[in-house]
Amino acid sequence: MKRNVLIIGAGGVAHVAAHKCAQNNKLLGDIHIASRTLAKCQAIIDSIHEKGSLQSPGRLQAHQLDAMDIEATKFLIRATHSQIVINVGSPFLNMSVLAACIETGAAYLDTAIHEDPAKVCEAPPWYGNYEWKRRQACKDARVTAVLGAGFDPGVVNAYARFALDTYFDDVESIDIIDINAGNHGRYFATNFDPEINFREFTSTVWSWEQNQWRANSMFERRQDWNMPVTGMSTTYLTGHDELHSMSQNLGVPNIRFWMSFSEHYINVFTVLNSLGLLSEKPVRTAKGVEIVPLEVVKAVLPDPASLAPAYTGKTCIGDLIRGTRGGQAQQVLIYNSCDHEECFEEVGSQAISYTAGVPAVAAAMLIAKGSWDIGEMANVEELDPVPFIESMNRMGLVTRIQDAHGDRILRPRQESIYEPKPRMLVNY
């Protein structure tokens, strides 16, 4: 059993994670929120009290922290007796926070891959450039580190693993489809940190095809999907974190990520990008001031968390998996749909933050209970997906499946219409 959680970051995802930790504080214990700006941590605590999210009376505390400072992070982990760290700060912090966890013995989890501010779209597999280099250190210290435990990456990795274990003999392709059919009513905004959002799209789009990396450029490959809830949706092939672990762990020849974009988003993005305003490389102004254009764009765009009150519509994110079973072609879509307004009603957030924050806390609860407390580093698809999907079904992120038997809630232990099949992968 592990108790007491330190949440790092106080943005949109941290807001949801803190509410969900509060809703489960009998299991998780004390909740500490630490970020660069103390007032943002305190605002989250105020909102938890306002919504009455605490399951039982307990400690909720805000801390100012520069999480790039490993010694300060270690000090805070020890001072708060936190045994689980949920890192939902900027992806630039991952390696520092992970180091602090390895040195203090706290379990680590995050929702996005580490990034170096000076580089974009590095050589694949991305995890090999940073996190996986600390695999042995985690093992030696018996530290649990669960990487990419948001929705995508995170839940979509678990969906793939569950499908492979349950419905297929061979899988030919996994297409991860991420549709946001919501409307925030602003001229232009990104749904999470604009800097991170744009960095995903300004360089090479890596996908896994025919068992090798394939490079495309952004908006080069378009695909329309008829999705449940959101209907016919236009997507573009996009590079994304989960491809970089699933390609190495699942033995599936084709894994692609498709994200929906409106024409308006593409137009604005194209103008900004063509002008050089999305560059991560510093430029010098006529006054001799050095600035990073991307940081300026971030500073002038709406804070993603501020979109929540006016956001309407739904998301639909899932895995379309194709392969064979018993010699027959088989296709399943495992997905979740989330309503922006319902998320706001429950915790005061929009659905993109909600779909990332809930899984992080579901994962923390599995670490607290022990079933995911494996004492080493893992990506989500290496862990048992069953308790993860079950927990999220109870926490507001309900999984559905669409296959030859129709469309239904996916209750992992009740998929008895399928003959039981030996686990394809044995590492849990």
Instruction: List interacting residues with ligand NDP (CB under 6 A).
Output: 9-14, 35-37, 40, 65-68, 88-91, 93, 111-112, 150-154, 192-193, 196, 304-305, 352-353, 356
Nearer to ligand NDP, 330 or 399 (CB): 399
User: Residue 215 — φ and ψ, nearest 5°?
Assistant: -100, 130
Tell me whether the omega of the peptide bond preceding residue 153 falls within 30 degrees of 0, making it cis.
yes
Q: How far is the CB of 19 from ligand NDP (least distance, A)?
A: 13
Q: How far is the CB of 148 from ligand NDP (least distance, A)?
A: 6
Q: Give the residue ranges of DSSP H helices in 260-306.
A: 263-274, 293-300
DSSP 22-46: HHTHHHH--EEEEES-HHHHHHHHH
Nearer to ligand NDP, 4 or 111 (CB): 111
Tell me whether the omega of the peptide bond preceding residue 125 falls within 30 degrees of 0, making it cis.
yes
Q: How far is the CB of 190 from ligand NDP (least distance, A)?
A: 9
C-alpha to C-alpha distance for 254 and 313, rounded to whole angstroms: 31
Nearer to ligand NDP, 53 or 330 (CB): 53
Nearer to ligand NDP, 150 or 323 (CB): 150
Nearer to ligand NDP, 332 or 351 (CB): 351
Distances (CA, A) of 412 to 123, 239, 392, 397: 36, 29, 11, 14
Output the six-digit token pair for 364. Answer: 């923390």
Residues 6+ apart with CB under 8 A from 258: 175, 176, 177, 178, 223, 225, 235, 236, 237, 238
Closest-by-Cβ residue to ligand NDP is 11
Q: How far is the CB of 142 from ligand NDP (least distance, A)?
A: 26
Q: How far is the CB of 94 from ligand NDP (least distance, A)?
A: 8
Q: How far is the CB of 38 from ligand NDP (least distance, A)?
A: 9
Nearer to ligand NDP, 77 or 93 (CB): 93
Q: Give the residue ranges of DSSP H helices in 202-262.
A: 243-249
SS3 290: strand
